[in-house]
Amino acid sequence: MAAAAARTDSPEDQDGSVPGAAGGSAPGSPVCLIVLGMAGSGKTTFVQRLTAHLHSQNSAPYVINLDPAVHEVPFPANIDIRDTVNYKEVMKQYSFPNLFI
């Protein structure tokens, strides 16, 4: 007689924890958060408020801006892709339409 495995549609383990969730990681381990979404969905506002909160808790985050076409980053970024990528030059090089210029 074969044993049947329990099937769940949830990513939760048997103990109810989600694999990779903060509760399952070692205490004090770093957290990586990637924020992406449609234009106007609130990514910048979210990151701005999150970084302000972390700074107020004396836990400064390491922030990387990967949007080369953004005009202004309203929070401190440790790495800013605009320092190395000129999106206008990339658009010219690959003959993209002048949508953002």
Contact 47, 73 (CB under 8 A): no
Q: What is the pTM of this model?
A: 0.65
Length of the chain measured in residues:
101
pLDDT band at 99 (very low <50, low <70, confident <90, very high): low
Give the per-residue pLDDT at 3.
Answer: 45
Give the per-residue pLDDT at 101.
Answer: 53
The structural domains of the chain, with segments of one domain joined by +, span 43-94
CA angle 46, 65, 83 (to 5 degrees): 150
Per-residue model confidence as pLDDT tens digits over 73-84: 999 999 999 999
